Amino acid sequence: MRELVAETRLHPRSFVAPLFVREGIDEPHPITSLPGVVQHTRSSLVSEAKHLADLGVGAIIVFGIPSTKDSIGSQAFHPEGIVQQALTDLAGAVGERVVVMADLCVDEYTEHGHCGILDGRGSVDNDATLAVYAKIAVAQARAGAQVVAPSGMMDGQVGVIRAALDAEGFTSTAILAYSAKYASGLYGPFREAVDVEIADGGNRKGYQQDWRNAREALIEVRADIAQGADMVMVKPALAYLDVIAAVRAEVDVPVAAYHVSGEYAMIKAAAANGWIDHDVVAMEHLTAIKRAGADIILTYFARWFAEQVAS
Ligand code: PBG
């Protein structure tokens, strides 16, 4: 009877698996702080994507780790950049079965690790960054991305990306906007995953949101929708369930939540110590994110969840 009356159900199709692809490696590299997650080679990335497609996972989102970084992150839009190559591989191999998304940012590609281009004083220059994002969006769409997901929290990024895509004929490439992305301590393991260290002990508080603010998230979400976002995201997830619920109540576009690296790592670490039951807590957390109002969940548990359902 509990099954009959359950208000919230999870389905693999609602999940997005984040995947990392690294240039210049012959074997997948484990990520110490994200047990079970690896930096892929181009070919292991395709194998993993096929496995996820077989399991019925809804989408994948790709992050690249280039072998060379520079001040503007040019490998993020170079036609032969690692992510562009990977997107082409994935679109061909699984593009009819899973949605192929690309994270759109420069932090993995810049030597300073910021999500934008720096001005002469070392601060992120919002508008100079927008021009680079426009180029990245077009390069990703051309390579095969069906959805681009700008994660840099620059003001005006969605509008500029929509215009750039449309101008190049990519009118049906969708935008999943990281709209309410908080300057969180929970991205720690991700920085290891993409080999990013922010220069001079810096942080992202200048462009990501202050976790004391919830109403501000709605301003960001409304702005992104007005600029053409097809889907909006709240990130991280568990410490921001109130924000997910508020966004869900406010808008009619699909709402995504990113269950981030630190949220995954905390479960893995506590379970490894025998302090919590891994499967129970993972399911409880993912369900809570859905119950709060997320239609789509980006999580490193995507494969695990789909395997649970399949078994
Ligand atoms: C930026 C980006 C980050 C994450 C996704 N996209 C890092 C950041 O903003 O510092 C974090 C994801 C995670 O922690 O799982 N390209």
What pLDDT, on a 0 to 100 scale, did the predictor assign at position 201?
84
Which residues, in sequence order, are bridge partners of residue 203?
A: none
> Tens digits of per-residue pLDDT, 218-277?
999 999 999 999 999 999 999 999 999 999 999 999 999 999 999 999 999 999 999 999
Which residues, in sequence order, are bridge partners of residue 29?
A: 39
Q: What's the predicted TM-score (pTM) here?
A: 0.97
Q: Is the pLDDT of residue 50 over 90?
A: yes
Residue tagged 């929708």 (tokens): 225
Determine the distance separating the centroid of ligand 1 and the alpha carbon of 183, expressed in angstroms: 10
Note the Cα 182 to chain centre separation in Å.
13
> Which among 49, 44, 42 is positioned nearest to 94, based on CA atoms?
49
Residue among 75, 105, 196 to mutate when testing ligand 1 (max atoms within 8 A of CB): 105
**What is the Cα–Cα distance from 283 to 287, expressed in whole angstroms?**
6
Determine the distance separating the centroid of ligand 1 and the alpha carbon of 21, expressed in angstroms: 15
Ligand 1, atom nearest to 107 Cα: 16
Asked if 146 contacts 135 with a C-beta cutoff of 8 angstroms, the reply is no
- Kindly report the protein residue whose alpha carbon is nearest to atom 7 of ligand 1: 187
**Is residue 107 within 6 Å of ligand 1 at its C-beta?**
yes
Write down the catalytic residue from 69, 235, 268, 290: 235
Of the listed ranges 10-19, 42-51, 118-127, the least confidently predicted one is 118-127
DSSP at 295: S
Determine the distance separating the centroid of ligand 1 and the alpha carbon of 300, expressed in angstroms: 13
The count of other CB atoms within 10 Å of the CB of residue 273 is 8
What pLDDT, on a 0 to 100 scale, did the predictor assign at position 310?
83
Q: What is the DSSP string of 193-255?
A: HTT---GGG--STTTSBPTT-SHHHHHHHHHHHHTT-SEEEEESSGGGHHHHHHHHHH--S-E
Asked if 192 contacts 137 with a C-beta cutoff of 8 angstroms, the reply is no
**Is residue 90 within 6 Å of ligand 1 at its C-beta?**
no
Residues of the chain with pLDDT > 90, as a percent, come to 94
- Coil vs helix vs strand at 16: strand
What pLDDT, on a 0 to 100 scale, did the predictor assign at position 199?
86
Determine the distance separating the centroid of ligand 1 and the alpha carbon of 1, expressed in angstroms: 40
What pLDDT, on a 0 to 100 scale, did the predictor assign at position 268?
98
**What is the Cα–Cα distance from 299 to 290, expressed in whole angstroms?**
12
> Which among 149, 151, 206, 150 is positioned nearest to 183, based on CA atoms?
206
**What is the Cα–Cα distance from 193 to 141, expressed in whole angstroms?**
24
Annotated catalytic residue 290: no
> Tens digits of per-residue pLDDT, 154-192?
999 999 999 999 999 999 999 999 999 999 999 999 998
Q: Is the pLDDT of residue 136 over 90?
A: yes
Cα atoms in the 13 Å half-sphere on the side-chain side of 79? 1
Burial of 7 (0-12, 13-18, 19+ CB in 10 A): exposed
Ligand 1, atom nearest to 261 Cα: 15
Q: What residue type is assigned to position 309 of the chain?
A: V
Strand 59-65 relative to strand 29-30: parallel, antiparallel, unpaired? unpaired
Structure tokens at 26: 């012959």
Annotated catalytic residue 50: no
Write down the catalytic residue from 50, 69, 181, 268: 181
Q: Please report, for the chain, the start and end positions of each structural domain, with discontinuous segments joined by +.
A: 9-310
What pLDDT, on a 0 to 100 scale, did the predictor assign at position 85?
98
What pLDDT, on a 0 to 100 scale, did the predictor assign at position 209?
96
> Tens digits of per-residue pLDDT, 72-127?
999 999 999 999 999 999 999 999 999 999 999 999 999 999 999 999 898 999 99
Give domain 9-310's CATH architecture: Alpha-Beta Barrel (3.20)
Note the Cα 286 to chain centre separation in Å.
16
Binned at pLDDT 50, 70 and 90, residue 202 comes out as confident
Cα atoms in the 13 Å half-sphere on the side-chain side of 213? 14
**Is residue 207 within 6 Å of ligand 1 at its C-beta?**
no
Residue among 83, 107, 114, 182 to mutate when testing ligand 1 (max atoms within 8 A of CB): 107
Asked if 129 contacts 104 with a C-beta cutoff of 8 angstroms, the reply is no
